[in-house]
């Protein structure tokens, strides 16, 4: 509460005014006691006014107090005079003070009375303004009090200013709420996308469906600054029902094949984007290998990276320095670029021309000089390496959907061979396919000539042959099989292409229905011969390792074992 000491005129005693915050006013004054008792006693008078009371002050006969919305004046002279009975009867009654029409006053100074009888108040407004308030003489008040025009205009200005402050605060608060709602909506999208991409990886069962957000790629050769380069065009597909908004980045990591003892190296590419709506795609291109590079197959890991700093505005980033580099990664899928993807189909007559065009002037000079010198010595041609893969022709027809084009599977047809070569080179294998670079392949061709990344020529032949096998109690039966043969002067290219063909066949076998796989009889005699040959080669390798061979003897020995393992290969049925 607030208490002030009031000095009244000579006909009144000293009085103490106590003002409560809720509008209770108590007058404490000294009164003369009964003649029998002698001395003086304290008298209490309670008055109720409208609250709440922000501040107040008194002069000789009036109480001035502010409620925040108005400045009021209460006359105490009537309460000080009169008889005791009348005071007690009016005790606790609510008084009607006079409004001075001044709002937003939070502090008042002690009033001063001028010679003319005017009362001057000095108040401090809520906006920090110092106001001087002059009150008219008591005798000049006729009828209800009328505010001065200056006071009215000042009050209107204060009200308009207060309304402006409230509108400004409401606008700022509305902007903050809108920003928070936007951040919450974006956070909800991020949580849903994270659950969508990570829920499939937590199950132990193999995934039967592709992720709704995934990457597909196309491999193609390009020439820049007189150098050939293998480019990977990666397409990010958003088949989900969520929007990839600001803050997401497509991260692509390329891991080349590293040999034993070599340090594994990788190259990372980042592609930030602003928005990717459902059904839209994002296409990026990046170099993955150069001409002459043999570090295939390449493993391409695709993932989405989200930065937590995207939730904050630029002004708030300084307040949260830990979030500037905070991010998390969600793996999408893994792509494999092998030797078949990196081949360039050429015509047979252009093989030598394309191979020689990649050499610089020094290599061409050395090759021509070596050729003239070798003619006299009778040097032989470079050694050719070859490898063979045998696949059931019926299996390929069923899996490649060629039953409509070939109604008689027992007849050899070149269409199945050319379709197989086209599927190996230009088909979509686990999200990666080759671009049609160089000369288009003939639709009826059984032989495919291409140039490997190691600048060596490669010949891939597909043909149907008959394989006879004795079945117990059934006599002899003839089965048509598909034979894929790879030939090249580079053993690196042969091994890489052989691995790529086997990987494609392995992927094709995984898609075979169970009833189709169980209906084909396994060739036990061929498996028995292959196991016996593998046991003999294993014994030879064990003996060679126990004796200890030099590096010059180890390489030819391992090459001979590799060639023997590839002879009479197993039939993929």
Of the candidate ranges 152-161, 233-242, 315-324, the one whose mean pLDDT is the lowest? 315-324
Higher pLDDT, 138 or 192: 192
- DSSP code at position 400: T
Is pLDDT of 562 > 90? no
CA–CA dist 405, 400 (Å, integer): 11
Q: How confident is the model at residue 473 (pLDDT cuts 50, 70, 90)?
A: very low
d(CA 79, CA 26): 11
**Tokens matching residue 448:** 């495919």
Q: What are phi and psi of 74, to 5 degrees?
A: -120, 125
CA dist., res. 382 & res. 206, Å (int):
46
pLDDT number for residue 487:
93
Angle value at C-alpha 567, between 565 and 568, nearest 5 degrees: 115
- Report yes or no on whether pTM surpasses 0.75: no
What pLDDT, in 10s, does the model give residues 114-125? 766 788 889 988
Task: Output 343 or 524, whichever has higher pLDDT.
Answer: 343
Query: Distance between CA 80 and CA 84 in Å, rounded?
Result: 10
For the segment 125-145, the average pLDDT, to the nearest whole number, is 70
Give the pLDDT confidence score for residue 467 in this predicted structure: 65
| Average pLDDT along the chain | 75
Residue scoring higher pLDDT (444 or 89): 444
User: Which of 112-121, 414-423, 483-492, 525-534 reaches the highest mean pLDDT?
Assistant: 483-492
Residues β-bridged to residue 135: 119
**Strand ranges for 393-504 from DSSP E:** 432-434, 447-451, 457-471, 475-488
pLDDT in tens, 274-317: 899 999 999 999 999 888 888 889 999 999 999 888 777 655 66
Residue 336, pLDDT > 90, answer yes
3-state secondary structure of 19: strand
Q: How confident is the model at residue 7 (pLDDT cuts 50, 70, 90)?
A: very low
SS3 102: coil
Pick the range with the lowest mean pLDDT from 82-91, 319-328, 558-567.
82-91
Cα–Cα distance, 73 to 123 (Å, whole number) = 14
Q: Are strands 119-125 and 130-135 parallel, antiparallel or unpaired?
A: antiparallel
Do 56 and 2 meet the contact criterion of CB atoms below 8 Å apart? yes
In this predicted structure, the answer to whether residue 398 has a pLDDT above a threshold of 70 is yes
What per-residue confidence (pLDDT) applies to 509?
Answer: 80
Lowest mean pLDDT among 237-241, 315-319, 559-563: 315-319
Comparing 145-149, 161-165, 365-369, 533-537, the range with the smallest average pLDDT is 365-369
C-alpha span between 301 and 252 (Å, rounded)? 6
Q: What is the pLDDT of residue 409?
A: 44
By the 10 Å C-beta count (0-12 exposed, 13-18 middle, 19+ buried), 421 is classed as: buried
CA Rg, the chain, in Å?
A: 49
Neighbouring residues of 499: CB distance < 8 A, sequence distance ≥ 6:
297, 338, 339
What's residue 207's pLDDT? 52
Q: Which residues contact 547 (CB under 8 A, 6 or more apart)?
A: none
Higher pLDDT, 201 or 16: 16
Give the model's confidence band at 428: pLDDT under 50 very low, under 70 low, under 90 confident, else very high. Answer: confident
Question: How many percent of the chain have pLDDT more than 90?
Answer: 18
Predicted confidence at residue 317, as pLDDT, reads 62
Considering 105-119, 220-234, 308-322, the range whose residues carry the highest mean pLDDT is: 220-234
pLDDT tens, residue by residue, 440-459: 566 566 888 898 887 889 99
**DSSP string of 391-426, one letter each residue:** EEHHHHHHHTT-TTT-S-TTS--HHHHHHHHHHHHH
Give the pLDDT confidence score for residue 49 in this predicted structure. 86
Query: Which of 155-164, 334-343, 403-412, 418-427 is modeled with the greatest confidence?
Result: 334-343
CB 330 within 8 A of CB 193: yes
| Order of strands, sheet of 55-58, starting from the edge strand that comes earlier in the sequence | 55-58, 62-66, 71-75, 98-99
Q: How far apart are the first and last CA of the chain?
A: 100
- pLDDT per residue as tens digits for the range 49-68: 887 898 999 887 788 999 88
pLDDT over 50 (residue 1): no
Highest mean pLDDT of the ranges 10-24, 147-161, 238-252 = 238-252
pLDDT of residue 354: 42
């Amino acid at each position: 509460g607030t208490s002030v000491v009031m000095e009244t005129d000579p006909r009144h005693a000293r009085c103490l005014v106590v003002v409560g915050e809720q509008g209770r006013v108590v007058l404490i004054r000294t009164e003369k006691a009964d003649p029998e008792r002698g001395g003086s006693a304290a008298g209490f008078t309670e008055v109720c006014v409208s609250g709440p009371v922000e501040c107040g002050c008194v002069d000789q006969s009036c109480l001035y107090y502010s409620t925040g919305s108005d400045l009021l004046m209460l006359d105490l002279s009537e309460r000080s005079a009169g008889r005791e009975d009348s005071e007690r009867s009016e005790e606790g009654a609510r008084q009607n003070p006079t409004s001075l029409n001044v709002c937003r006053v939070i502090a008042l100074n002690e009033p001063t009375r001028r010679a003319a009888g005017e009362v001057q108040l000095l108040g401090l407004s809520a906006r920090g303004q110092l106001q001087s308030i002059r009150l008219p003489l008591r005798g000049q008040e006729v009828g209800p009090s009328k505010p001065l025009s200056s006071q009215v205009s000042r009050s209107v200005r204060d009200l308009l200013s207060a309304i402006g402050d409230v509108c400004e605060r409401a606008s700022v608060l509305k902007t903050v709420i809108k920003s928070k709602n936007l951040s919450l909506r974006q956070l909800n999208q991020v949580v849903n996308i994270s659950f969508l991409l990570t829920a499939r990886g937590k199950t132990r069962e193999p995934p039967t469906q592709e992720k709704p957000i995934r990457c597909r790629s196309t491999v193609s050769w390009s020439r820049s600054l007189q150098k050939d380069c293998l480019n990977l065009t990666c397409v990010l597909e958003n088949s989900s029902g969520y929007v990839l908004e600001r803050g997401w980045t497509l991260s692509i990591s390329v891991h080349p094949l590293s040999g034993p003892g070599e340090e594994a190296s990788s190259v990372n590419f980042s592609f930030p984007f602003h928005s990717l709506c459902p059904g839209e795609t994002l296409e990026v291109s990046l170099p993955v290998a150069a001409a002459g590079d043999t570090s295939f197959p390449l493993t391409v890991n695709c993932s989405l990276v989200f930065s937590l700093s995207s939730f904050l505005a630029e002004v708030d980033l300084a307040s949260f320095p830990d979030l500037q580099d905070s991010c998390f990664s969600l793996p999408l899928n893994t792509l494999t670029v092998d030797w078949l993807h990196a081949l360039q189909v050429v015509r047979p007559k252009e093989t030598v021309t394309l191979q020689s065009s990649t050499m610089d002037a020094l290599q061409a000079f050395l090759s021509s000089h070596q050729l003239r010198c070798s003619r006299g010595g009778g040097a032989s041609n470079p050694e050719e390496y070859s490898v063979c893969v045998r696949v059931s022709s019926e299996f390929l027809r069923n899996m490649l959907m060629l039953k409509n084009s070939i109604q008689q599977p027992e007849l050899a047809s070149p269409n199945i061979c050319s379709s197989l070569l086209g599927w190996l080179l230009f088909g979509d294998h686990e999200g990666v396919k080759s671009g049609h670079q160089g000369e288009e392949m003939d639709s009826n061709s059984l032989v495919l000539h291409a140039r490997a990344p190691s600048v060596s020529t490669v010949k891939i032949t597909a043909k149907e042959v008959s394989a006879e096998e004795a079945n117990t109690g059934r006599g002899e039966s003839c089965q048509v099989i598909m034979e894929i043969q790879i030939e090249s002067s580079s053993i690196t290219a042969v091994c890489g292409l052989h691995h790529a063909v086997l990987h494609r066949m392995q992927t094709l076998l995984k898609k075979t229905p169970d009833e189709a796989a169980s209906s084909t009889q396994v060739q036990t005699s061929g498996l028995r011969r292959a196991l016996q040959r593998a046991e003999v080669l294993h014994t030879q390798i064990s003996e060679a390792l126990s004796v200890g061979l030099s590096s010059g003897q180890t390489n030819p020995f391992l090459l001979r074992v590799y060639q023997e393992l590839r002879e009479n290969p197993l039939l993929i049925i």
